[in-house]
Each structure stands twice: as structure tokens, then as C-alpha cells.
């Protein structure tokens, strides 16, 4: 236990400082990976000790209250993470289990304290809008002005989109946390880890039926407007777009790995998508991967390129 004192102390201090700075999500994210790593290495006592450390850090930074329970539950997700890695679940199943559990926690908290969460969101969005307004000049009509419009729209419609928007960082965070935990476990414990990887993770085909149902509900809401229907449809559609976006990123990583394009081409694609706001492209890639199976297409292109290269090498040897 003593040999882990410096690690526990660092996590405790980092969690407390992040909580004091208002970075609660960062503070809680410090614990699941080490909890999972110890769990896979059959050091369950250390895992449980880290969960207790999370509770004490929350108490030191925020006092006795719901925060302690929240921090403990998030840290305990590391046990689920470690269990999936140790039992060699499929990568996608672990992501679904961790993201689903975390989202149930966040959504449950938002619904249980609806008015408080809405007020907190409005304060956060107002602060974000103020920062953007300070950076943008009075006559600015560029990206800053567009971002201000989007923030204003979010503030007006947060009730209809907030639950869906919150699924995005949770899903992305689950993929990042799992990938980092797998690398640590393989390095420290020589454990093979889950079946598959992020680049092979694919949204189940049956999910497309949810997209079709949501499209029908959206059209119904356009004809017969209803506040409850709009709340369910918009939030569900935004959460579903996160699934297809992450699938699009997975397809992109797979294509880069299979075809090994030039570095400048990879950088250009990433810049267009992430710096120029072409994120919907990845959503459509993820959606149409249901029918196109772009990974198989990339494999066929890579195999054809390899055959062409081998043929060129054989011709070169024959000429010699």
C-alpha cells in the first residue's frame, strides 16, 4: 500500500485542485483508468482504495453532499472498465457499458434536478457567449459571430437538446479512457485486452432503425408540434448523431491505417474536418457505413495496391 502513496497523493491533489477550479469532469476522469488498471492486475484492494480516495478528494474540495456520491460512482466505473478488459469483452461492448452507465448517471442527475441543471447550463452558456463576444469585434461576421449565434440557439433550446449534447463528451471520453487503460494494462500486466479495437468498432446495423423512427417522429413534430415530442426527438437525434460520429472517426482511423496515405494528406483531412467544422461529414460516413462497410472497401483498395506493387517489383526483377 505504501508504494502507491505518491500515486494516490497525486490523484488526490489533482482532483482537489481541478474541483476548486470548477473542472469537475476532469477531476472525476482522473480515477477510472487507475482503478481499472489495478482491477485487471488483481489488486482489487487498491481499486477500492482509489474509489475511497475520490470520495475524500470530493469532500476536501466541495464538502459533504451529492458531489461525493457522484465522484465515487464515476471512479467506480473503473471497475466496470477493468472487468470488461479482464474478461476480454469486445471493445465496442465495453464502450457501450461504460458510456451507458456514465450517461445514466448524468441524465438521471439532470432529470432529478431539472431546474437547477437548466439554470447552471444558462450560466455556463452566458459565460461562454461573453468570452466569444470579447474576442469578436462589434462588426465581426466571421467564425466568432457564427459561434455566438450557435451559443444563443443552444441557450434558447437547451431543454430540448441538453440531454443529447451531454452524450457526446461521455461517449468520446469512454473511448479515450478505454484506449488509454488498454495500453496501460498491456504494458504493465501483459494482458491481451478486449477483442477488437477502436478502429474496428462499428455501430450495430439495427441502430439505423432508431434513426428512421426518429426521422418519422421529427416529421410528425413538424406537422403537429408538441413540446414533449420535440424534447424526446431532438435529444435522441443528437445522441444518435454522436454514435454515428464516433463510428465515422473509427472508419477514418481504419482507412488511415489500411491505406497509409502521406502525412500531409492525413493532416489535410483532419484540418478540414476538425478546424473547418465539417463534423457532419463524419456523421454521414458513420451512418452510411451501415450499408457501405467502408472498412472492407479500404481492405480491397489496400490489397489491390499491394498486388500492383508486387507486380511492379516482379517486372523490375524480370527487366534486370
Per-residue pLDDT band for 9 (boundaries 50, 70, 90) equals low
CA–CA separation, 243 and 34 (whole Å)? 26
Q: How many other C-beta atoms lie within 10 A of the C-beta of residue 2?
A: 5
What is the 3-class SS of 21-59, one letter each residue? CCCHHHHHHCCHHHHHHHHHCCCHHHHHHHHHHHHHHHH
Per-residue pLDDT band for 19 (boundaries 50, 70, 90) equals very low
Q: Where are the domains of the chain?
A: 1-114+162-196, 199-320
Q: What is the pLDDT of residue 244?
A: 92
Question: For 245-296, what is each residue's pLDDT tens digit?
Answer: 999 889 888 888 887 777 776 677 777 776 666 778 888 888 888 888 888 8
Which residues, at least 6 apart from 18, have a Cβ–Cβ distance to it below 8 Å?
Answer: 24, 26, 27, 30
pLDDT above 70 as % of the chain: 78
Phi, psi of 9, rounded to the nearest 5 degrees: -65, -40
Q: What are the grid coordinates assigned to 242, written together?
A: 454522436
Which residues, at least 6 apart from 308, have a Cβ–Cβ distance to it below 8 Å?
Answer: none
Helices vs strands, H then E, count in the chain: 13, 0
Torsion, Cα of 264, 288, 201, 166 (10° steps): 90
**How many residues are there in the chain?**
320
pTM of the full structure: 0.84
The rounded mean pLDDT for the chain is: 78
Find the helix packing angle between 91-112 and 114-135, rounded to 10°: 100
Amino acid at each position: 500500500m505504501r508504494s502507491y502513496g505518491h500515486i494516490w497523493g497525486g490523484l488526490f491533489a489533482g482532483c482537489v485542485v481541478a474541483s476548486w477550479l470548477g473542472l469537475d469532469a476532469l477531476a472525476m476522469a482522473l480515477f477510472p483508468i487507475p482503478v481499472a488498471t489495478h482491477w485487471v492486475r488483481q489488486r482489487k484492494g487498491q481499486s477500492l482504495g482509489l474509489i475511497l480516495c475520490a470520495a475524500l478528494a470530493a469532500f476536501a474540495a466541495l464538502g459533504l453532499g451529492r458531489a461525493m456520491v457522484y465522484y465515487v460512482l464515476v471512479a467506480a466505473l473503473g471497475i466496470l472498465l477493468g472487468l470488461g478488459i479482464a474478461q476480454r469483452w469486445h471493445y465496442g461492448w465495453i464502450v457501450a457499458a461504460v458510456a451507458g452507465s456514465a450517461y445514466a448517471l448524468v441524465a438521471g442527475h439532470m432529470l432529478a434536478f431539472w431546474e437547477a441543471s437548466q439554470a447552471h447550463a444558462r450560466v455556463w452558456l452566458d459565460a461562454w457567449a461573453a468570452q466569444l463576444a470579447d474576442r469578436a469585434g462589434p462588426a465581426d461576421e466571421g467564425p466568432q459571430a457564427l459561434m455566438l449565434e450557435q451559443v444563443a440557439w443552444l441557450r434558447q433550446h437547451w431543454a430540448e437538446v441538453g440531454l443529447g449534447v451531454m452524450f457526446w463528451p461521455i461517449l468520446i471520453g469512454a473511448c479515450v479512457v478505454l484506449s488509454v487503460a488498454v495500453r496501460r494494462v498491456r504494458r504493465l500486466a501483459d494482458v491481451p485486452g478486449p477483442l477488437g479495437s477502436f478502429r474496428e468498432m462499428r455501430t450495430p446495423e439495427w441502430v439505423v432503425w432508431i434513426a428512421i423512427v426518429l426521422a418519422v417522429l421529427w416529421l410528425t413534430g413538424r406537422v403537429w408540434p408538441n413540446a414533449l415530442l420535440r424534447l424526446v426527438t431532438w435529444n435522441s437525434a443528437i445522441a444518435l448523431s454522436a454514435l454515428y460520429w464516433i463510428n465515422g472517426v473509427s472508419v477514418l482511423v481504419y482507412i488511415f491505417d489500411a491505406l497509409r496515405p502521406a502525412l500531409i494528406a492525413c493532416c489535410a483531412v483532419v484540418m478540414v474536418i476538425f478546424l473547418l467544422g465539417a463534423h457532419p461529414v463524419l456523421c454521414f460516413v458513420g451512418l452510411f457505413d451501415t450499408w457501405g462497410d467502408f472498412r472492407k472497401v479500404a481492405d480491397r483498395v489496400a490489397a489491390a495496391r499491394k498486388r500492383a506493387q508486387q507486380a511492379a517489383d516482379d517486372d523490375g526483377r524480370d527487366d534486370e
